[in-house]
Structure 1
Amino acid sequence: MGDIYHHRARTLDGREVSLEDYRGKVLLIVNTASRCGFTPQFTGLEALHRQFADKGFAVLGFPCNQFANQEPLDEAGIARFCQTSYPVSFPMFAKIEVNGPGTHPLWAQLKEEAPGLLGSRAVKWNFTKFLVNRQGQPVERFAPTVRPEDIAPKIAKLL
């Protein structure tokens, strides 16, 4: 499929953004939710973002409500939550679907090129993470249980 830069996504404030804007950066792309047991990972994701941003790294958050309705908020509510509960400075995008017929095209590519355990394609839960290299190619998938800080050495290696 090539790189991810041909995809577009809408931000929480409704702007259409091309992933071309992230060309040359190492990315950690994550499906998020505000009412999940893994929601405290926002702290670790923000720490990674701050630690490596000046070296060409970014976290991209994509809220998703496909797992036990754990993201019930609308875009404005998600933005408020991310600012008040976990002061998030990394880009957050509008709610998307990561599985099924409405899967966002970016996520279809991520799942295809970085399959999960035993080659599974479906995202199993919130806070599944995909590491993308500077060439825009997904290189690894991390389960929701993998803490952001545990991914830091792999990020550093790609930088």
Structure 2
Amino acid sequence: MTVLDAPITLLDGTQTTLGAITAGRPALLVNVASQCGLTPQYTALEQLHETYAGRGFTVIGLPCNQFGGQELGTSGEIADFCSLTYGVTFPMTEKVDVNGDERHPVYTALVDAPDEDCESGDVQWNFEKFLIAGDGTVVSRFRPAVTPDDERVVAAVEAVTSGS
């Protein structure tokens, strides 16, 4: 099974796969949380999504409550918060575990990818980012402190969407 084959449920309860969401397009997968010091990254994530959507790119938010209990809401509360507070229009899934025994299959496929320091393994905190190509290959991994508008993220998105 590839990352694209992994079953996932959207915030509205729709059961799908990551491949159905991306439809063969590149995407930035981000474990998000509504009550984190990094939550303002939603603004730059939405801007990245809007800027590159015309090239077939999407951001996908995967809420997670594993780091400091910072995603406590229901799916409806998460959807309302993201939409009303940050104007989020990109797809969002139900809460998932990114580490541990209950790690979601999407993250089982992602955590082997190294970051720019050649380190792989568990997700470190909220807002860790994985850029995947349309075929599900992990192109880049950015740790939480690297913001979505960082030149490294933008350059990686530009490179993966340049043929679109």
Q: TM-score, normalised by structure 1?
A: 0.94
42-51 or 76-85: which moved more?
76-85
CA drift of 1:118 comes to 5.0
Contact 1:23 1:135 in 2 (8 A): no
In structure 2, the residue matched to 1:52 is: 52
Ranges in structure 2 where 5+ consecutive residues have no aligned partner = none
In structure 1, the residue matched to 2:105 is: 105
Query: For 1:13 and 1:24, how far apart are their aligned partners in 2?
Result: 22
Query: For 1:20 and 1:83, how far apart are their aligned partners in 2?
Result: 24
Contact 2:140 2:156 in 1 (8 A): no
Q: TM-score, normalised by structure 2?
A: 0.91
- Name the Cα RMSD after superposition: 1.3
Aligned pairs for 1:10-49 (under 5 A) are 10-21=9-20, 22-49=22-49
CA drift of 1:105 comes to 0.4
1:69 partner amino acid: G
11-20 or 63-72: which moved more?
11-20
Query: For 2:13 and 2:127, how far apart are their aligned partners in 1?
Result: 22
CA drift of 1:83 comes to 1.2
Q: Is 1:156 the counterpart of 2:161 in the alignment? A: no
Contact 1:48 1:148 in 2 (8 A): yes
SS in structure 2 at match of 1:85: helix
SS in structure 2 at match of 1:158: helix
Query: For 2:72 and 2:4, how far apart are their aligned partners in 1?
Result: 29
Ranges in structure 1 where 5+ consecutive residues have no aligned partner = none
Query: For 1:7 and 1:71, how far apart are their aligned partners in 2?
Result: 22
Query: For 1:96 and 1:36, how far apart are their aligned partners in 2?
Result: 16
Q: Name the CA shift for 1:104/1:157 in 2 (closer, same or farther; >3 Å).
A: same
CA drift of 1:85 comes to 0.8
Number of residue pairs matched by the alignment: 157
1:62-85 C-alpha deviation (Å, 9 max, x unpaired): 000000001111111101101111
Query: For 2:159 and 2:19, how far apart are their aligned partners in 1?
Result: 22
CA drift of 1:126 comes to 0.1
1:38-84 C-alpha deviation (Å, 9 max, x unpaired): 00000000000000001010000000000000111111110110111
